[in-house]
């Protein structure tokens, strides 16, 4: 099965550099809607058998224009939502951002026991993301191409831990509407195909992108707030 993990469009908290991981989460900015509207053209010619989105509203809004263009429904599933920030929810100060990304970095180095205060361990994150994708894979044939709209930190961490051949992801960016493509299934494993770091739905000015904390390494532009 081909698995396309697409990050949602821009949200107000992406612009502000805030750790928005709770439910239902922010909606899209006007530009985020523009990014979503651009996806049908950006993915023209790409086979898509089914569309899935997380329980956070921004992914569903991102998927909607593509679903309409393809005549597909959007199935909302638990387990592919963002990595929980716990006690750091909606914080945007540098110390909080560094703490969040540092824990994820430790997972990628093999320390899945670590967790943020009020958050989950790496084991818990991987287990729920694995389970969600296993449920999706079980509904499809090996020839299907499935697009899953998920979240920046979650996609980067899970792909880094599960995709054979992806290499280090700690310095990789994944902009809003960026996409990681894998082939495989839960039993055989997932093989890296492509990392589209740049936004399929259109780029934002560098000064705005610099504050996007869940799709990238720690940006130098993150300041105390």
pTM: 0.94
Q: What is the span of the domain harbouring residue 128?
A: 2-209
Do the domain assignments include residue 87? yes
Tens digit of each residue's pLDDT (9 = 90 or more) over 17-66: 999 999 999 999 999 999 999 999 999 999 999 999 999 999 999 999 99
Task: Please choose, from the candidates 103, 101, 90, the residue with its C-alpha nearest in 3D space to the C-alpha of residue 17.
Answer: 90
Do the domain assignments include residue 70? yes
Do the domain assignments include residue 222? no
pLDDT, tens digit only, all 225 positions of the chain: 999 999 999 999 999 999 999 999 999 999 999 999 999 999 999 999 999 999 999 999 999 999 999 999 999 999 999 999 999 999 999 999 999 999 999 999 999 999 989 999 999 999 999 999 999 999 999 999 999 999 999 999 999 999 999 999 988 999 999 999 999 999 999 999 999 999 998 877 676 777 888 887 654 444 333
Do the domain assignments include residue 105? yes
Do the domain assignments include residue 50? yes
195 phi and psi, to 5 degrees? Answer: -125, 105
Look at the chain and report how many structural domains it folds into. Answer: 1
Do the domain assignments include residue 195? yes
Percent of the chain topping pLDDT 90? 87
Give the span between the Cα atoms of 179 and 166, in whole angstroms: 13
Q: What is the CATH number of the domain that holds 66?
A: 3.40.50.1240
Tens digit of each residue's pLDDT (9 = 90 or more) over 37-47: 999 999 999 99
Kindly report each contact of residues 47-51 with a partner whose C-beta sits within 8 Å and lies 24 or more positions away, as own/partner: 47/2, 47/145, 48/4, 48/72, 48/145, 48/146, 48/147, 49/140, 49/144, 49/145, 49/146, 50/75, 50/136, 50/139, 50/140, 50/144, 50/146, 50/147, 51/75, 51/146, 51/147, 51/148, 51/149
Supply the pLDDT for residue 212. 87
User: Rounded to 5 degrees, what angle do the CA atoms 173, 175, 178 make?
Assistant: 100
Do the domain assignments include residue 214? no
Do the domain assignments include residue 224? no
């Amino acid at each position: 099965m081909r698995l396309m993990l697409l990050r949602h469009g821009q949200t107000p908290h992406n612009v502000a550099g805030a750790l928005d991981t709770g439910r239902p989460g922010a909606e899209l900015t006007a530009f985020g809607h523009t990014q979503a509207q651009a996806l049908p053209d950006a993915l023209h010619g790409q086979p898509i058998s089914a569309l899935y989105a997380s329980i956070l509203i921004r992914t569903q809004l991102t998927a909607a224009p593509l679903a309409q263009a393809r005549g597909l429904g959007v199935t909302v599933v638990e387990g592919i939502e963002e990595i929980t920030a716990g006690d750091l929810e909606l914080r945007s100060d540098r110390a909080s951002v560094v703490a969040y990304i540092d824990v994820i970095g430790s997972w990628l180095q093999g320390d899945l026991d670590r967790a943020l205060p009020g958050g989950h361990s790496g084991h818990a994150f991987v287990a729920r993301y694995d389970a969600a994708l296993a449920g999706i894979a079980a509904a499809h044939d090996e020839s299907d191409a499935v697009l899953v709209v998920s979240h920046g930190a979650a996609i980067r961490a899970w792909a880094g831990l599960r995709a054979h051949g992806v290499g280090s992801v700690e310095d990789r960016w994944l902009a809003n509407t960026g996409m990681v493509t894998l082939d495989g299934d839960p039993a055989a494993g997932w093989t890296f195909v492509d990392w589209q770091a740049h936004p399929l739905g259109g780029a934002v000015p560098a000064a705005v992108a610099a504050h996007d904390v869940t799709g990238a390494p720690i940006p130098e532009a993150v300041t105390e707030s």
